[in-house]
């Protein structure tokens, strides 16, 4: 990149980031964002974003599991991909689903009066060809920001850069676990010192951490951000609804707050609808909180918000609260990687 091009890029980015952190006055969040096309154009001209796209596609192509590889590549790299969990969903269906979420205590009804367009607009962000058998994302995965306006990577294409860093981080952390906790000598655990200058050990490891999950889960966790963080005409973003609880008594009736950003739950819904394996779904569902005792209710609620019969959540003997099957949590330590 020449110095001039770099300066121009920074100037455009600076102007984008200097805009006020609220949506455009009167912005309608029931229709696709008026600034989405401009964001696509700008991100297509960014060397950083395009290199992130190339990086992510290359990593996805290294996934061993055929279904995970093909489904995830289609989800982020196919500009005409269908949003599976919204296929054929009409307005009457949205109303019925919303009422079910309210009855289950998985949305905060107070938000209906404060969120732009109400709860329905937050749970069902506008799509292209909405209501058809193949509704499509309102912008590409590679033009979306990484978070809310003024947050991390909140510029066109920031999501792809964010996911590239997440994938590097998750793979490095997994390799660290393998190096430190994955070896023994004489029946006792030891740190592998065979190649102290390298993070990655060449010795066979005695713990299993799925490389496929390390790559795919962080991407799937944020997959719905092109839906919830659409662009307004002035360069600001849609607001994001938080749901997955009512914010009051979410801990199986006890005090607790499991409300979280809609992108988290909508991404889980999409992964379920596309038939991705349970270990991947639970890993991504645990991105906003660990599925350990104190916070398991949050993950359970998010899975139920995405699909009421999700993953056949079980009731253990003597325990009245739904639980996540241990067999599906074989990589429980890995859930921290999907952030």
pLDDT of 209 reads 84
- Predicted local confidence at residue 61, as pLDDT: 96
Rounded to whole angstroms, the Cα distance separating 52 from 42 reads: 14
Burial class (CB in 10 A: 0-12, 13-18, 19+), 187: exposed
Q: Which of 152-161, 181-190, 281-290 has the lowest mean pLDDT?
A: 181-190
Residue 217 lies in a domain: yes
Structural domain for 146, as ranges:
30-178+208-337
CA separation (Å) from 103 to 108, 262, 305, 308? 11, 18, 11, 12
**231 vs 24: CA distance, rounded Å:** 9
- Whether residue 339 is predicted with pLDDT greater than 50 in this model: the reply is no
298: in domain: yes
130 in a structural domain: yes
Residue 310 forms part of a structural domain:
yes
Name which residue leads in pLDDT, 322 or 104.
104
Q: SS3 for 271? A: helix
Q: At residue 22, does pLDDT exceed 70?
A: no
Please name every residue paired with 231 in a beta bridge, in sequence order, or none if there are none. 237
**Across the strands, what pairs with 243?**
260
Report how far residue 320's alpha carbon sits from residue 314's, in angstroms, rounded to the nearest whole number. Answer: 10
**Average pLDDT value for residue range 175-191:** 83
Main-chain phi, psi angles of 260, to 5 degrees: -150, 170
Q: What is the DSSP letter of 308?
A: T
Q: Average pLDDT over the chain, rounded to whole?
A: 83
pLDDT exceeds 60 at position 227: yes
Token representation of residue 150: 């003024």
Cα(174)–Cα(209) distance, rounded to whole angstroms?
7
Instruction: Compute the Cα dihedral for 97, 100, 106, 110 and give only its sign.
Output: positive
The structure's pTM equals 0.83
Residue 114 lies in a domain: yes
According to the model, what pLDDT value does residue 195 have? 60
* Predicted pLDDT at 322: 59
pLDDT at 112: 96
Of the pLDDT bands very low, low, confident and very high (cuts 50, 70, 90), residue 40 is very high
Q: How far is CA 150 from CA 81, 116, 146, in A?
A: 29, 19, 10
Query: For the chain, what percent of residues have pLDDT higher than 70?
Result: 79
Asked whether the predicted pLDDT for residue 109 surpasses 90, the reply is: yes
| Alpha helices, DSSP H, located in 208-331 | 211-221, 225-228, 262-273, 278-285, 296-306
Instruction: Check whether 306 has a pLDDT greater than 70.
Output: yes
The number of folded domains in the chain is 1
Res 334: pLDDT: 30
- Does residue 10 fall inside a structural domain? no
DSSP secondary-structure letter at 27? -
Cβ(297)–Cβ(321) below 8 Å: yes
pLDDT exceeds 90 at position 330: no
How far CA 124 is from CA of 77, 184, 249, in Å, comes to 22, 50, 24
Backbone angles phi, psi at 183, to 5 degrees: -140, 155
DSSP percent split of the chain into helix, strand, coil, nearest 5: 45, 5, 45
Residue 201 lies in a domain: no
Q: Is 74 part of a structural domain of the chain?
A: yes
Mean pLDDT comparison of 59-68, 190-199, 290-299, 328-337, highest-scoring range: 59-68
- pLDDT score recorded for residue 291: 67
Question: What pLDDT is recorded for position 149?
Answer: 80
Beta strands in the chain (DSSP E): 184-185, 188-189, 242-243, 260-261, 314-315, 322-323
């Amino acid at each position: 990149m020449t110095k001039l091009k770099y300066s121009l890029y920074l100037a455009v980015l600076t102007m984008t980031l200097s805009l006020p952190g609220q949506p455009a006055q009167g912005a309608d969040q029931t229709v696709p964002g008026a600034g989405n096309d401009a964001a696509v154009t700008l991100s297509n001209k960014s060397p950083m974003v395009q290199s992130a796209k190339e990086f992510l596609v290359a990593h996805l192509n290294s996934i061993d599991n055929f279904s995970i590889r093909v489904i995830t590549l289609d989800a982020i790299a196919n500009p005409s991909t269908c949003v599976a969990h919204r296929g054929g969903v009409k307005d009457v269906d949205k109303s019925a689903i919303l009422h079910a979420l309210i009855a289950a205590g998985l949305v905060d009804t107070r938000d209906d009066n404060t969120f732009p367009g109400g709860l329905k607009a937050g749970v069902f962000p506008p799509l292209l060809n909405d209501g058809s058998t193949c509704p499509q994302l309102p912008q590409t995965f590679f033009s979306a920001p990484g978070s809310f306006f003024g947050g991390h990577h909140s510029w066109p294409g920031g999501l792809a850069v964010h996911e590239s860093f997440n994938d590097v981080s998750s793979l490095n952390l997994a390799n660290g676990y393998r190096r430190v906790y994955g070896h023994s000598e004489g029946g006792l655990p030891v740190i592998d010192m065979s190649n102290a200058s390298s993070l990655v050990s060449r010795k066979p490891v005695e713990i299993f951490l799925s490389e496929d999950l390390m790559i795919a889960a962080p991407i799937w966790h944020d997959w719905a951000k092109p839906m919830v963080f659409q662009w307004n005409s002035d360069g600001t973003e849609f607001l994001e609804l938080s749901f997955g609880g009512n914010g009051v008594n979410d801990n199986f009736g006890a005090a607790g707050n499991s409300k979280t950003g809609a992108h988290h739950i909508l991404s889980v819904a999409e992964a379920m609808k596309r038939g991705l394996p349970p270990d991947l779904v639970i890993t991504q569902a645990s991105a906003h909180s660990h599925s350990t005792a104190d916070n398991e209710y949050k993950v359970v609620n998010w899975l139920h918000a995405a699909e009421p019969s999700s993953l056949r959540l079980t009731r253990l003997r003597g325990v009245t609260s739904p639980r996540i099957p241990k067999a599906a949590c074989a990589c429980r330590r890995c859930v921290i990687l999907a952030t």
